[in-house]
Structure 1
């Protein structure tokens, strides 16, 4: 019994200490599902993209903490918003850079997961 707890404790410590594991696991399931559903919609709703989009969100989660993902994806999504309301997402250099970085991470994830 004691060895089971020791192994489980060691595995938990390893998961916490390995870079990327903690960040990948801080994405809530609902956020992953929203990403996959939107991604599938963007690719014609084809079932094959269920796996590709799931792969992509996992890759994104490896690169970004969830809070950073929220900010960056919001910045990119709303850059095309017209008028004064959209200026918050278009004008500040920091927001533009954040959106540009997220777009690059998203592209790398898509490439790695065989999305065209």
Structure 2
């Protein structure tokens, strides 16, 4: 797996990639999708998260980096399938009527609680929104 580069660290990343041995890349690829830096999320999933995070916290350029930081922190501890399940439960937890009944069962509530705690920690660590303001 080739490391993802940030715009400001592109030169350092290029240098790092040139120093990484092919054996290290092969070992990382054989890790079952989980690298030393976390779980492998599809680019589309990361982009959707960042866009949703920016919808909630403002479309300032700095939030691209802050929201990317948040999804990176979430990906470091949560496999992608669990992320999809927990974030879906969290998103629809307040859905009313019969259609929202499956999002109000005990298992769904527990998944929602786990995701919101993880997201709150990621937001605080990355300096996003109310969680960051509350920790100052």
Task: Identify the TM-score tier after normalising by the shorter chain.
Answer: 0.7 to 0.9
Q: Which runs of 5+ in 2 are unaligned?
A: 1-20, 130-136
Displacement, 1:44?
A: 2.2
Equivalent in 79, 85, 101 of residue 99 of structure 2: 85
TM-score (normalizing by structure 1): 0.83
Q: Which residue of 2 aligns with 1:71?
A: 85
Give the alignment's Cα RMSD to 1 decimal: 2.1
Question: Map of 1:1-116 to 2, 5 A cutoff?
Answer: 7-13=21-27, 21=35, 24-90=38-104, 92-116=105-129
TM-score (normalizing by structure 2): 0.71
Q: Which runs of 5+ in 1 are unaligned?
A: 1-6
Partner SS state of residue 79, structure 1: coil
User: Are the aligned partners of 1:23 and 1:64 in contact in 2 as well (CA < 8 Å)?
Assistant: no
Distance 1:73 1:36 in 2: 13
Displacement, 1:8?
A: 1.1
Richer in helix (by share): 1
Pick closer, same or farther for the CA change 1:22–1:15 going to 2, 3 Å.
farther
User: Are the aligned partners of 1:23 and 1:66 in contact in 2 as well (CA < 8 Å)?
Assistant: no
Pick closer, same or farther for the CA change 1:68–1:29 going to 2, 3 Å.
same
Question: CA offsets per residue over residues 15-58 of structure 1, 9 Å max, x none?
Answer: 755xx527834210001000001111111212211000000000
Aligned pair count? 108
4+ residue segments displaced more than 6 Å: none
Pick closer, same or farther for the CA change 1:59–1:16 going to 2, 3 Å.
farther
